[in-house]
Amino acid sequence: MSGGPSDPKAIEVMNADAQLRAAADEFVLRGCRHRYPYNFAWLGVPVIQFPQDMIALQEVVFRSRPDVIVETGVAHGGGTIFLASMLELLGGDGRVVAIDVDIRPHNREVIESHRMAGRIALVEGSSTDAAVVQRVHALARGKRALVVLDSDHTHDHVLAELRAYERLVMEGGYLVVLDTIVDRMSQAEIGERPWGKGNSPMSAVREFLRENKRFDIDRELEDTLLITVAPEGYLRCIEDP
């Protein structure tokens, strides 16, 4: 597939280096402890992502050429603007449908005044609420979709999102679940948040893949990255609904 790694054999050899893989995992976990993903912005707006995952998302957008990107979890809006700018580079009239249970006024103002605003539709409400799901499906109807999940990280919520939006993704498309790394973090690192080991995006992905055979994990992309907050989270669609 175009856009794939330039030297698959070199990537295979790299991933056979157990010390390197362990160092990469340690970097991600230590980086999260130090709020490393909070160090970055996209076009002036905080993005709260590891740069490596932003490169992977760019790759996914290029490979799948979506007409619409459904994103759950807006926060400051940098990720939304990043995805919109990828669509801008591709050309056409692609849009990001960005969902958050609470889009704060100052974040909404930044997004709606940004030069990428014309490619963004903001939807306020829970991503699993029936009315929100219905609205998003209506906005994406008849379009080739990419779905990126990055909101509430509890098992039940992420699994409900996966079930709600998976049918938007066609063969060759992607369903990306971010922050699966939560499952590898200690409760001390997670703090008082309601998710953790066994109650995480990763545990939701595993249950979803047991019940839905339309998707598999893009191991090649994950192995290319090494450093990612989304291990097992880049899901490639291998069959239309």
The answer to the question of residue 1 being in a domain is no
CATH number of the domain that residue 199 is part of: 3.40.50.150
pLDDT 10s digits, 158-180 = 999 999 999 999 999 999 999 99
Q: Which residue range forms the structural domain that includes residue 121? A: 8-237
CA-based R_g, the chain, Å: 17
DSSP 25-79: HHHHHHHHHTTGGGG-EETTEE--S-HHHHHHHHHHHHHH--SEEEEE--TTSHH
pLDDT 10s digits, 109-154 = 999 999 999 999 999 999 999 999 999 999 999 999 999 999 999 9
The answer to the question of residue 2 being in a domain is no
Task: Domain count for the chain, please give it.
Answer: 1
The answer to the question of residue 95 being in a domain is yes
The answer to the question of residue 76 being in a domain is yes
The answer to the question of residue 45 being in a domain is yes
